[in-house]
Homo-oligomer: A and B are copies of this chain.
Amino acid sequence: MAPAYKLTYFDGRGLAETSRFIMKYGGIDFEDCRIKREDWPQIKSKYPFGQLPVLEHNGKTVNQSHSIARYLAKQVKLAGNDDWENLEIDAIVDTFNDLRLKIVAYFYEQDEEKKKTILENLNKDVFPQYLTRFEEIVKKNKGYFALGRLTWADFCWATVSPGFDMITKVDTIANYPELKAVRDKVNSLPAIKKWIEQRPKTDF
């Protein structure tokens, strides 16, 4: 029987890896569909808003990586136990995304002079502001980002934050042991460890 879920993305970790981690962790069988960059222009219009990743399930197709990850997290008990707990998780995940968007802006800036200025600002202000607070939050939550236990916020951090380093070529979490520990903790979960060994080797 075909898996109940199909996750479609490019052949990379990018915005799909959080959902892949969540499904691997929870033992959800899924089709890991990877579209070649050269094929994308021809098929892009078939997808909602021409975006990837998308999740297909029961004949329906939905876009938006965070929405998909949130849904999957609920299926495998990586979500909150009530609405307020889910709010606490959602708020931290949206805050990761605020930081991610600042790094994406650096990535896409074409003007070399401006790029330099953005990177200086990231290192001087943005990273310290966000990462110091993240570090405090994880300390307060006994080694996790929310609720004092493992949630999909930790999965999001473990899969998204390595991209920060890759794009900026800065070891962003060098001085933040708690933030490094979250990455390591997620990556050491048996199902995740196995997936990291098995997954296609890609640049990003």
Collect the chain B residues with CB atoms within 8 Å of residue A176's CB. none
CB distance from A151 to the nearest CB of B (A): 14
Q: Are A83 and B71 in contact (CB under 8 A)?
A: yes
Q: Select the stretch in A59-67, A158-166, A180-188 that faces chain B.
A: A59-67
Residue ranges of A at the interface with B (Cβ–Cβ < 8 Å):
48-50, 55, 57-58, 60, 62-64, 66-68, 70-71, 74-75, 83-84, 86-88, 90-91, 93-95, 98, 101, 129-130, 133
- A-B CB proximity, top 8 nearest: A67-B90, A71-B87, A64-B91, A64-B94, A67-B91, A74-B83, A62-B91, A67-B94
CA distance A129 to B88 in the complex (A): 33
Judged by DSSP, the binding face of A is helix
Give the docked Cα–Cα distance between A90 and B72 (Å).
13
